[in-house]
Chains A and B, each alone.
Chain A
Amino acid sequence: MPIKYVLPPEWEWPITIALFLAGLAAGTYSVMGLIHFAGDKRDEPVLYRLGFIPMPIMIVVPLLLIYDLGQQGRFLNLLIKSPGAPERGGPLMFNANSPMNWGSWAMVIFAGFAALAFADSLHQSGRIRLGWLVPIAHSKILLAIGEFFAMVVSGYSGVLIAVTNQGVWSDTWLMGGLFICFSELSGMAVAAIVCDRMGAVHTAAAVRRALFTFAAISAVFLVLFLGGLATQQDGSLAALIASLHELVGVAFWVGAVGLALLVPLVMLAPRPIVRVPNGSLALIGVLVLVGVLAFRYAMFFSAISFVQS
């Protein structure tokens, strides 16, 4: 197996949490887009409550990345060229071959859309009058662009780890898709919690259906991912299984498979498999969020764990 020849990148928990939170913010923004494009007036209270969520998260994400890198300037050098960079050609840093650059810029641009949604929610809540902002915040074209960047933020970390030579990560093309699925799942879980807390029965009906559908799509992607690894001759599935021990294994099987996928699939099925008590949508949402965090942890540390084993 060629995967033993590489060294693990030694990414630690701040990276995992930062990318989970970025996916959560992007997923929440995506749900807002769905409501904008396909919802109705009765969904607006939930829509504007959701608008408060992405921006604060997008403030925390760079703080975690700065903590991981050790210095503030190092994070800025992902966006602005360091004076010592050998290849000049403009003040901005962008290497089209590096998914990390794509992701950094996507997060910056997405943070702008998150700020716009936050300001719109402030206005709609009556706390600040920003009437001039409404046509901009509700522009379908801007919303579509914001959705695009939300999707990039959702999935870029999956593409990023696929563009390495680490076992498992680089043995599949599905990593980016898988990360988008779980990010959108987390966004819908946030919507489920908000609906439940607000008693928004009308919106909750659509959110339940979407959460079930997203869990089903994520499950299909996960099966394709495992199946794809199994068909490779270099034993990638064996490498993954070997890496799934101790906490990583618990995170994968209990968290990613159990909480993030099976819980919504079983409890929100159109023909209920188990009887779900009223008011349990928030609980399902919380369990899914824990599962998505566990998924991120398991995926990040599966390859690292294998190389170190």
Chain B
Amino acid sequence: MSDLRGMFVDTSICTGCKACQVACKEWNEMAPGVPLPMEDEAAVREHRAFTGNSYDNTSHLSATNWRHVKFIEQIGPDPSSSDRSDPRWLMMSDSCKHCVQAGCLEVCPTGALYRTEFGSVDIHQDVCIGCRYCVGACPFGVIAFNKRTGRVNKCILCQDRLEIGMGTACAKACPTSSLVFGTVSELQSMASDRVKLLHSRGQTDAYIYGWDLGNSGKITAGPNKGTAVKDVEVVGGLNVFYLLLDKPEVYGLPAHASLPQRNFVPSAGVALISAAVLGVTGLAAFRRRRMDENATAGTEATNAN
């Protein structure tokens, strides 16, 4: 298990420089892509569309943006009031979490999504048929359909770099060590130490999203000030996990992500029950006709007598 590789994303020191996004695009030779949403087609063609969301120009993860830096502006304790005395700006570099129990991998009908020797979740592009089932199954909205290739794409934790002993391109480019690449066990230890350090310095809102390392705290600023937070283990653990300073929902992360397979057996069971009910009632409809005929014949015979 010590060979498992992952990343620790410390949002407390992310400056939103987007070097990770650029490094990801460059290393993986991805097309520039277009800002989303794409209502203004002319603007999209000229790469000058605005998302209307802070300094965010790619809006969310997509087939050509495997990494996305989120900008979360919290202006004052109440966003609806004009009080702008206590602003804060949260930033987070987001990507595939390479879940220990990956829903996308579980539902893939062709084996295109697979677990690498490093514990990450990679996609064999030659094997992907573009059925898009994994897109709906991912609880984080990470995997995206690439209309140009007819296949899906997501962060593959720089598998080609890992195979030759290098780390991920994004972590290499990060100027503040907000993104750290390493073995998951080392990263967990580093994350726990970091949370403790922040807590000792009064930043008591720091906690880990992805693994439950036993930390807990209280949000110190923004609209959720005073809300208790604690480490969250998500879908059996995330190989790419985060240090957050506010509720997961604030960062666009689900507080209770779950595997799609939770519904398989119950849903199939209900389907079987409904099939049985329909079968029995259908048979009864045909049988009852015969009974009605027999009753009619009996009545006619009685009348004849």
Interface positions of A (Cβ within 8 A of B): 2, 5-11, 30-31, 34-35, 37-40, 43, 69-71, 74-75, 77-78, 81-82, 84-87, 93, 95, 97-101, 104, 147, 151, 154-155, 158-166, 169-170, 173-181, 184, 188, 202, 205-207, 209-210, 213-214, 217, 221, 303
Q: Does B131 contact A (CB under 8 A)?
A: yes
A35-B286, A85-B110 are known contacts. Are A70 and B130 too (CB-CB below 8 A)? yes
Chain A CB within 10 Å, residue with most, of B131, B138, B269, B273: B131
Q: 22 pairs across A/B with beta carbons < 8 Å?
A: A7-B144, A8-B135, A30-B278, A30-B282, A34-B286, A78-B129, A81-B110, A85-B111, A86-B114, A97-B107, A158-B267, A159-B263, A160-B133, A165-B139, A173-B266, A178-B274, A180-B275, A206-B289, A209-B288, A209-B289, A217-B274, A303-B136
| B129 partner residues in chain A, CB cutoff 8 A | 69, 71, 74-75, 77-78
| A2 partner residues in chain B, CB cutoff 8 A | 139, 254-257
| B139 partner residues in chain A, CB cutoff 8 A | 2, 5-6, 165
A6–B145 Cα distance when bound, in Å, is 13
Which 7 pairs show the lowest CB-CB distances between chains A and B?
A176-B271, A177-B274, A74-B129, A38-B286, A210-B285, A9-B136, A164-B136
Q: Does B132 contact A (CB under 8 A)?
A: yes
| B278 partner residues in chain A, CB cutoff 8 A | 30, 180-181, 184, 214, 217
| A159 partner residues in chain B, CB cutoff 8 A | 263-264, 267-268, 271
Q: How many chain B residues touch A (Cβ–Cβ < 8 Å)?
A: 64
| B270 partner residues in chain A, CB cutoff 8 A | 173-174, 176-177
- Find out whether the CB atom of B282 lies under 8 angstroms from the CB atom of A165: no
Give A147's nearest chain B residue, CB to CB: B279
Q: Does B47 contact A (CB under 8 A)?
A: no
Q: Does B179 contact A (CB under 8 A)?
A: no
- Find out whether the CB atom of A165 lies under 8 angstroms from the CB atom of B267: no
Distance (whole angstroms) from the CB of B118 to the closest CB of chain A: 14
Interface of A is mostly: helix
Give A35's nearest chain B residue, CB to CB: B286
- Find out whether the CB atom of A74 lies under 8 angstroms from the CB atom of B130: yes
Distance (whole angstroms) from the CB of A57 to the closest CB of chain B: 20
- Find out whether the CB atom of A210 lies under 8 angstroms from the CB atom of B133: no
Partner of A5, one of B132, B150, B254, B288: B254
| A188 partner residues in chain B, CB cutoff 8 A | 282
Distance (whole angstroms) from the CB of B279 to the closest CB of chain A: 7
A77-B110, A86-B114 are known contacts. Are A162 and B263 too (CB-CB below 8 A)? yes
- Find out whether the CB atom of A10 lies under 8 angstroms from the CB atom of B132: yes
Distance (whole angstroms) from the CB of A304 to the closest CB of chain B: 9
| B258 partner residues in chain A, CB cutoff 8 A | 165
Q: Does B228 contact A (CB under 8 A)?
A: no
- Find out whether the CB atom of B135 lies under 8 angstroms from the CB atom of A9: yes
Partner of A209, one of B114, B150, B263, B285: B285
Distance (whole angstroms) from the CB of A203 to the closest CB of chain B: 9
Give A155's nearest chain B residue, CB to CB: B271
A97–B111 Cα distance when bound, in Å, is 11
- Find out whether the CB atom of B106 lies under 8 angstroms from the CB atom of A98: yes
Q: Does B261 contact A (CB under 8 A)?
A: yes
Q: Does B32 contact A (CB under 8 A)?
A: no
